[in-house]
């Protein structure tokens, strides 16, 4: 969690990144909210240090919080202490002092003074913090208390850490929720079996008993016994959050894609070993009708990522609309190319793989057949969206899920994947097809599907369609993915769908200078073009961090597309950001 440094960083860049003409402007927004102060640290310490010079008042307090957190993440104890001291000198009133106490605890924690850090944490009024602040608070409490247990072996510290995670996991989702649940279990497993059994006997709380039993199961030395006991656990504690870990494990074993050709792809043999001076070939449609739709967005994404990393590579862009892929690959093999980025169109991915080249590649579409060399791919299609929606609804403990879709191909594919993932996990999803002959037919068919029979409905529909049918669905929780998002935050359509959960790439859902710069360069870029840009940007990050991701398959790269990890069959799994519509972003 906080003390586990992730692999990625700067998703914030100046407008000049897109044109590669050098940074002359600032690279941050003009106001820093409490939510941003305690949200993801997306840039390096120097960026936040520069930002401090342009802030004052409450914004400076929040800028100091970000700077201190960034320095702590980088392991710079001196900078963390300096920014914390300035924060203490400026903090006035209960709200600002509350933030200062929390950052004081952080500074002491990274300096190894866990006892004093604990004292400051006791001064923090957690309910008065914004949700992002509460998440940060409980995460830090868990780390501090666990460190104190490591020093003293006193049971109370382990239980304090576990209690913090118990309070944290309902506030989180996706990767962070799973990591929190896993940490809660691993903390309990630090205790001897005798102590765990005593805790189990003395507890009347069903959730606590479930955590303790799960921890005891994990201590079994027999994998066969563990699997049997995990099955018994799921039947005994049907509503327990730890079933999410068991469910995630079973789905990962089969791959998240349980529908379509891609689920059958074998595991990737070999990897990517990129170093300074290597030759990299980028294959994209840079002319013709696909250039403005996917080629140019992908080119800009790769250029921005290379510039952000100050990459010392020999990079050449090739226009797949004007060259023969097979002939090009022969040239690339002859000139010692170390990595291929792209293509993005599926026929071009197939053409690349048909060459049987052994050059490692990261492509931006699902391959129809396995490449001979190491190949990893992003899936920007509806199958993946449906699978992500299914996982989110299970995390939210939706017990009677449903999917309402139209006859449109993408809508049907998302719905089929959604249902298949839930069926594989033992949760039968209700499926209902809507008529999209006209608006009236769409509304009538949605009403006939009777949403009240479900406690959560996934709508793989366009934004206009979702807006049209939502009044007919009553108060049932709605879940939307990228087909329902038009690329613009806080739009009238989003406000009209107030309360619905929308899952998509973080960089689309949170406005940033990089996104503004991209839209300035390509003002007509739709949400799909924005997704292609993000995946292309992240392909560079994956290449540079591949060894670390491969050595620890549980770790993630924080990217524009989400938290990226290496999945089965070459899939680059991305954890989306889920937001509740109607809340300004």
Q: At what angle do helices 382-395 and 409-424 cross, to 10 degrees?
A: 40
Domain at 437, CATH number = 3.40.50.2300
Residue 143 in tokens: 């780390």
Residue 557 lies in a domain: no
* Residue 319, beta-bridge partner list: 284
What is residue 154's DSSP assignment?
A: -
Give first-to-last CA distance, the chain, whole Å: 25
Residue 360 lies in a domain: no
Q: Residue 159 and residue 279: Cα distance in Å, rounded?
A: 52
Q: Please report where in the chains the tokens 């209902």 appear, as a residue.
A: 432
Domain at 143, CATH number = 1.25.40
Residue 183 lies in a domain: yes
The residues near 100 (Cβ < 8 Å, ≥ 6 apart) are 84, 87, 88, 91
Last residue of a domain, one of 213, 237, 261: 237
Residue 185 lies in a domain: yes
Residue 238's pLDDT band, with cuts at 50, 70 and 90, is confident
pLDDT at 494: 66
pLDDT at 228: 77
Q: Residue 365 and residue 34: Cα distance in Å, rounded?
A: 38
Least trusted range by pLDDT, from 59-63, 140-144, 250-254:
250-254
CB atoms within 10 A of CB 583: 12
Residue 315 lies in a domain: no
Cα angle: 59, vertex 108, 64; to 5 degrees: 10
Residue 507 clears pLDDT 80, i.e. is over it = yes
Residue 584's pLDDT band, with cuts at 50, 70 and 90, is low
The residues near 320 (Cβ < 8 Å, ≥ 6 apart) are 283, 284, 285, 286, 342, 343, 345, 348
Last residue of a domain, one of 205, 237, 269: 237
* Residue 564, beta-bridge partner list: 557, 574
Residue 522 in tokens: 């390509």
Residue 325 lies in a domain: no
**How far is C-alpha 26 from the geometric centre of its chain's CA atoms?**
26
Residue 33 in tokens: 């909210």
Q: 3-state DSSP call for residue 565?
A: strand
pLDDT at 329: 96
pLDDT at 257: 39
Residue 415: CA count within 13 A, CB half-sphere: 20
Residue 239's pLDDT band, with cuts at 50, 70 and 90, is confident
Q: Residue 30 and residue 34: Cα distance in Å, rounded?
A: 14
Q: Residue 165 and residue 155: Cα distance in Å, rounded?
A: 16
Residue 16 clears pLDDT 60, i.e. is over it = no
Q: Residue 135 and residue 171: Cα distance in Å, rounded?
A: 7
| Global confidence as pTM | 0.61
Residue 211 in tokens: 């955590």
Last residue of a domain, one of 489, 508, 527: 508
The residues near 252 (Cβ < 8 Å, ≥ 6 apart) are 567, 568
Residue 117 lies in a domain: yes
**With contact defined as beta carbons under 8 Å apart, do 337 and 359 qualify?**
yes
Alpha helices in 91-222 (DSSP H): 93-110, 114-121, 131-152, 155-168, 174-188, 193-202, 206-218
Residue 464 in tokens: 């206009």
**With contact defined as beta carbons under 8 Å apart, do 418 and 452 qualify?**
no
As a whole number, mean pLDDT of residues 386-395 equals 91
As a whole number, mean pLDDT of residues 418-428 equals 83
Whole-angstrom CA distances from 513 to 27, 314, 424, 518, 520 are 6, 28, 41, 9, 10
As a whole number, mean pLDDT of residues 194-209 equals 90
Residue 306 clears pLDDT 50, i.e. is over it = yes
pLDDT at 552: 81
Q: Residue 80 and residue 117: Cα distance in Å, rounded?
A: 14
Residue 7 clears pLDDT 60, i.e. is over it = no
State the pairing for strand pair 339-341/401-405.
unpaired
Whole-angstrom CA distances from 343 to 153, 325, 369, 380, 449 are 54, 10, 14, 13, 41
Q: Is the dihedral of CA 52, 55, 57, 58 positive or negative?
A: negative
Q: At what angle do helices 131-152 and 155-168 cross, to 10 degrees?
A: 160
- Report the domain count for the chain: 2
Domain encompassing residue 110: 30-237
Residue 36 lies in a domain: yes
Residue 496's pLDDT band, with cuts at 50, 70 and 90, is confident
The residues near 117 (Cβ < 8 Å, ≥ 6 apart) are 104, 105, 106, 108, 109, 140, 144
**With contact defined as beta carbons under 8 Å apart, do 283 and 339 qualify?**
no
- In the predicted model, what is the mean pLDDT of the chain? 85
**With contact defined as beta carbons under 8 Å apart, do 559 and 537 qualify?**
yes
pLDDT at 31: 63
Q: Residue 176 and residue 178: Cα distance in Å, rounded?
A: 5
**With contact defined as beta carbons under 8 Å apart, do 389 and 418 qualify?**
yes
Q: Residue 366 and residue 570: Cα distance in Å, rounded?
A: 9
The residues near 163 (Cβ < 8 Å, ≥ 6 apart) are none
């Amino acid at each position: 969690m906080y003390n586990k440094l992730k692999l990625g960083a700067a998703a914030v860049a100046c407008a000049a990144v897109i044109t590669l003409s050098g940074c002359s402007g600032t690279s941050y927004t003009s106001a820093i909210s409490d939510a941003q102060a305690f949200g993801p640290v997306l840039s390096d310490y120097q960026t936040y240090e520069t930002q401090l010079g342009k802030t004052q008042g409450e914004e400076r307090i929040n800028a100091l919080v970000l700077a201190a957190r960034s320095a702590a993440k980088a392991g710079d104890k001196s900078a963390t202490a300096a920014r914390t001291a300035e924060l203490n000198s400026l903090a006035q009133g209960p709200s600002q002092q509350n933030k200062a106490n929390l950052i004081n605890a952080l500074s002491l924690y990274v300096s190894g003074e866990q006892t004093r850090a604990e004292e400051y944490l006791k001064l923090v009024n957690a309910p008065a913090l914004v949700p992002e602040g509460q998440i940060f608070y409980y995460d830090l409490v868990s780390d501090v208390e666990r460190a104190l247990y490591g020093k003293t072996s006193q049971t109370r510290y382990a239980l304090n850490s576990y209690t913090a995670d118990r309070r944290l996991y309902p506030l989180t989702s996706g990767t962070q929720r799973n990591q929190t649940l896993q940490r809660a279990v691993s903390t309990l497993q630090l205790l001897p079996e005798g102590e765990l059994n005593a805790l189990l006997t003395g507890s009347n709380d069903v959730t606590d008993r479930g955590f303790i039993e799960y921890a005891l199961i994990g201590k079994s030395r027999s994998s066969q016994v563990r699997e049997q006991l995990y099955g018994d656990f799921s039947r005994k504690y049907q509503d327990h959050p730890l079933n999410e870990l068991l469910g995630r494990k079973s789905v990962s074993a089969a791959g998240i894609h349980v529908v379509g050709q891609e689920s059958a792809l074998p595991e990737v043999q070999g990897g990517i070993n990129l170093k300074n001076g290597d030759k990299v070939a980028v294959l994209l449609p840079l002319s013709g009708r696909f250039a403005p739709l996917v080629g140019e967005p992908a080119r800009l994404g790769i250029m921005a990522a290379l510039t952000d990393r100050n990459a010392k590579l020999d990079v050449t862009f090739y226009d797949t609309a004007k060259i023969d892929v097979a002939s090009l690959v022969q040239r690339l093999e002859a000139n010692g190319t170390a990595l291929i980025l792209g293509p993005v169109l599926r026929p071009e991915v197939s053409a690349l793989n048909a060459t049987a080249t052994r050059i490692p590649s990261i492509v931006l579409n699902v391959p129809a057949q396995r490449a001979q060399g190491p190949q990893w791919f992003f899936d920007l299609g509806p199958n993946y969206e449906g699978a992500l929606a299914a996982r989110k609804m299970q995390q939210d403990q939706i017990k009677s899920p449903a999917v309402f879709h139209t006859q449109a191909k993408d809508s049907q594919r998302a719905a089929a994947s959604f249902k298949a993932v839930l069926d594989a996990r033992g949760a039968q999803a209700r499926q209902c097809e809507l008529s999209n002959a006209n608006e009236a037919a769409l509304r009538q068919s949605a009403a006939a599907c009777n949403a009240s029979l479900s406690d959560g409905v996934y709508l793989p529909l366009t934004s206009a369609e979702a807006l049209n049918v939502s009044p007919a669905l009553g108060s049932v929780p709605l879940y939307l993915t990228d087909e329902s998002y038009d690329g613009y935050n806080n739009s009238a359509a989003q406000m009209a769908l107030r309360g619905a959960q929308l899952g998509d790439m973080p960089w689309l859902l949170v406005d940033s200078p990089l996104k503004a710069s991209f839209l300035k360069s390509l003002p007509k870029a739709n949400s799909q073009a924005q997704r292609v840009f993000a995946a292309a940007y992240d392909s560079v990050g994956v290449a540079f961090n591949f060894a670390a991701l491969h050595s620890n398959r549980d770790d993630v790269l924080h990217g524009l597309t989400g938290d990226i990890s290496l999945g089965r069959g070459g899939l680059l799994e991305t954890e989306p950001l889920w937001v509740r519509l109607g809340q300004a972003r």
